[in-house]
Amino acid sequence: MTMAIEAGAGLRLLAVESSCDETAVAVVEDGRRILASVVASQTVLHARTGGIVPEVAARAHLRWMLPVLDEAIARAGLHDAGGVDAIAVTFGPGLAGSLLVGLTMAKTLAFLHDRPLVAVNHLEGHIYAGWLLDPGQEAEAPDFPAVALVVSGGHTFLVEMRDHLSYRLLGQTVDDAAGEAFDKVGRLLGLPYPGGPAIQRAAEGAGSRGRRLPRAWLGDSLDFSFSGLKTAVRRMVVAEVGGTADDGALVPDALAAEIAAGFQDSVVDVLATKTALAAERCGARTIVLGGGVAANGPLRAAMGDRAAALGARLVVPRPDLCTDNGAMIGAAGYRRFLAGERAGLDLDARSSLKLAKPA
């Protein structure tokens, strides 16, 4: 069924996200204004195991979904979920058991309140986080053509957007995702989970003493590779402290800081250089960054410089909207809703859902 709906009509979506280790519900107006965004993070839970155990994550979503929903409804000033125009939900990619908790919640609300259900790709959510504003905040919406870099725990890719919901894949990682590299290197250095924020903090203590680590340029392609860098870190740790580097607790703080700084420099250099190259090749007016690694301070700063040199506008969500949240699903869901997309109550989880196929 397709319905013509005008943009900017005060449309409210309630959005549910549970693809990984954040239980999140948000209420978003017109795909941009955040009326409420509540995130319950399981980071503390997964710190014990140094990574996510899928069944533990799914059970935590079950535990937190209803309290998070209630809090989002209250903060948005709604009586119940019937106070919105549609329900958006992440249906992939992600952990199947985790996705199913959010899907069941969203379908129940759609059925109970007789509201349309909109299926959202989590990766599209990370891109549309760039459209979000707090109430009262004003900013032009990102302009096309745009180039978007998505850097999360499970994905790293560059796409060109010439219009809403239209993606041409320019490049992607051939091995580890950038966030995965941060997490694995964090473990090698004995830093707490998740590795990204811990490495950024550790690197701040290194000053200019960062170790030089390799960059995988892969010729002039826009693909990425981070597994060689991880191996280089492992070798450096073994050479300096011995052992197998599997017990990162043995790495002294000063050395961890120096390696963290060198690793971060390498990742930021490659991400920023390739994103700028993509923007130049596409004649992009806007560069959008999204995904957890886009919360990284040095990456945000480096991208700002590159965008300025190109005369392009850089759009990066504030750090808590780079990591997983419900508001980004409301932003992307709004675009899908405007396009007339409606999901049935038989909507299923798609663990390996893609955003764009190679050109």
Binding residues (CB under 6 A) for ligand KG4: these are: 20, 152-154, 179, 182-183, 194-197, 200, 291-293, 295-296, 323-324
CB of 122 to Zn ion, least distance (A): 6
75 φ/ψ angles, rounded to the nearest 5 degrees? -65, -30
Closer to Zn ion by Cβ: residue 183 or 324: 324
Query: What are the DSSP E strand ranges found in 49-167?
Result: 86-92, 117-121, 146-151, 156-161
Side by side, the strands of the sheet bearing 146-151 are 168-172, 156-161, 146-151, 286-290, 313-315
CB of 179 to Zn ion, least distance (A): 8
What x/- string results for residues 102 through 141 when contact with Zn ion is judged by CB under 5 A? ----------------------------------------
CB of 115 to ligand KG4, least distance (A): 26
User: Which residues between 308 and 347 bind Zn ion (CB under 5 A)?
Assistant: 324
Tell me the β-bridge partners of 156. 151
Question: What amino acid is encoded at 209 in this protein?
Answer: R
User: Which residues between 138 and 157 bind Zn ion (CB under 5 A)?
Assistant: 152
CB of 197 to ligand KG4, least distance (A): 4
Q: Does 173 bind Zn ion (CB under 5 A)?
A: no
Provide the 10 A C-beta neighbour count for residue 114. 7
Contact call for residues 27 and 72 (beta carbons, < 8 A) = yes
Rounded CA-CA distance 119/99 in Å is 12
197, interface contact from Zn ion, ligand KG4, none, CB < 5-8 Å by kind: ligand KG4
Closer to ligand KG4 by Cβ: residue 278 or 295: 295
Closer to Zn ion by Cβ: residue 20 or 161: 20
Helix spans in 76-170 (H): 96-113, 122-128
Instruction: Read off the DSSP letter of residue 17.
Output: E
258, interface contact from ligand KG4, Zn ion, none, CB < 5-8 Å by kind: none
CB of 34 to ligand KG4, least distance (A): 17
Task: Give the three-class secondary structure for 209.
Answer: coil
Q: State the greatest distance between any 2 C-alpha atoms of the chain, in Å, as a whole number.
A: 65
326, interface contact from Zn ion, ligand KG4, none, CB < 5-8 Å by kind: none
CB of 27 to ligand KG4, least distance (A): 20
Rounded CA-CA distance 100/132 in Å is 26
Pairing of strands 156-161, 22-29: unpaired
Tell me the β-bridge partners of 36. 27
92, interface contact from Zn ion, ligand KG4, none, CB < 5-8 Å by kind: none
CB of 18 to ligand KG4, least distance (A): 12
Closer to ligand KG4 by Cβ: residue 291 or 333: 291
| Binding residues for Zn ion (CB under 5 A) | 152, 324
